[in-house]
Amino acid sequence: MQQFYSAAKNQSRPPLVLASTFRSKTGNDEGSTRRVHHHRASTTSSPMLSSLNALEVSHSLSSSSRSFREASSEAKSASNNDSTQQHHVYEPSISAQSLQQMISSRRTVSNFLHHPPTSLPVEGGIQCQQILSNAIRRAVECASTAPNHKMSEPTTFHRILSPSAASERLLDISYEVTYQRLLLNKLSGVEACRNEAMRKREKWSKIPAFIVATVGGMEDQYNEEEEQSPYAELPLNAPHTIQQLEDYASSCASIQNLLLSLHSEGIASKWATGTIIRTHALRNLIGCKKDDMVVGLIMVGWTKQVPRMPRRRRVLEGDVLKDVNI
């Protein structure tokens, strides 16, 4: 040990591995040597180095001692990893658990309040509109981060705030679509059909905002030469090519991001895909192109009551989640 100590003190310069460490930004040699001593002390368990001062440490690392210490450090690191794997069970961070809980707690809401709950310091319809407008903008920012093949970015979101001329037109479309569908299916008499259509219109009038999501580059969604009611359901032209299918999938992922962003701010939503999204009337309202496909009508607002967790028809382990064993 004494011989090694003497040889270390006679070194003419520090090892190359520490050369960059000595060139501190402050130019303070004393501070630099302190940092070297701290670094080396934290990476080794050698009792000799703990007794040396910082300057002696910088001169004591010969090539032979460096090799020995590197090997010892690797062995210690491997031992620590093995011990950690044996005795420590990994758990996600608090922020990860919060995100997972937020995702799991989202529910589809059907009954909305036109104004926020009284617990929120908001008064007046104009302020409510501004709150939702800003929240929708942030939600669309999140939606735009969804994966999309070849950076196609195919999804467009059309925002409708209520009350407005656009929302009144949407309520009229809802009424007409419901009334004609009930008449066509002959589920009840004319008067009963009108009453049911009016009930739906009044229910939708309590929804503070709507978002219509469309995906471009699809097959032509209708033939302009066809003469039919603007409220009749158009035939479905599903994606035909691989790119169209990937764009549609990306659009669905975008909508999920949007719903989760709204939920994180305490705003409820419902993703609807009924007859109304496949009508000339709705397409004309938002200015669809021929190759735009409406993926969904999203209702946005504040819920009267948070729905309960739905009963799952499938169990997680072994059904929804299956291990592949070969």
**What DSSP line would sit under 275-320, residue for residue?**
GGGGSHHHHHHHT--TT-EEEEEEEEEEESSPPPPPPPSS-TBTTT
Does residue 67 have a pLDDT over 70?
no
Q: Within 13 Å of residue 29, how many CA atoms lie on the same side as its CB?
A: 2
The candidate with the shortest Cα–Cα distance to 207, out of 306, 106, 107, 111, is 111
Mean pLDDT value of segment 70-78: 54
pLDDT at site 121 = 53
In angstroms, the Cα distances linking 114 to 122, 227, 303 are 12, 37, 9
- Tell me the one-letter amino acid at 110: S
**22, containing H or E segment:** helix 19-22
pLDDT tens-digit series, residues 108-124:
998 898 778 765 555 55
Does residue 236 have a pLDDT over 60?
yes
- Tell me the one-letter amino acid at 204: W
pLDDT tens-digit series, residues 287-321:
999 999 999 999 999 988 877 877 788 999 999 99
Q: Which residues contact 143 (CB under 8 A, 6 or more apart)?
A: 155, 157, 254, 255, 257, 258, 261
Percentage of the residues of the chain whose pLDDT score is greater than 70: 68
Would you tell me how many other CB atoms lie within 10 Å of the CB of residue 210? 23
pLDDT at site 31 = 44
Per CATH, the architecture of 109-303 is what?
A: 3-Layer(aba) Sandwich (3.40)
The answer, as to whether pTM is greater than 0.85, is no
Q: Which residues contact 189 (CB under 8 A, 6 or more apart)?
A: none
pLDDT tens-digit series, residues 179-206:
999 988 877 789 999 999 999 999 999 9
Please state the domain extents for the chain: 2-87, 109-303
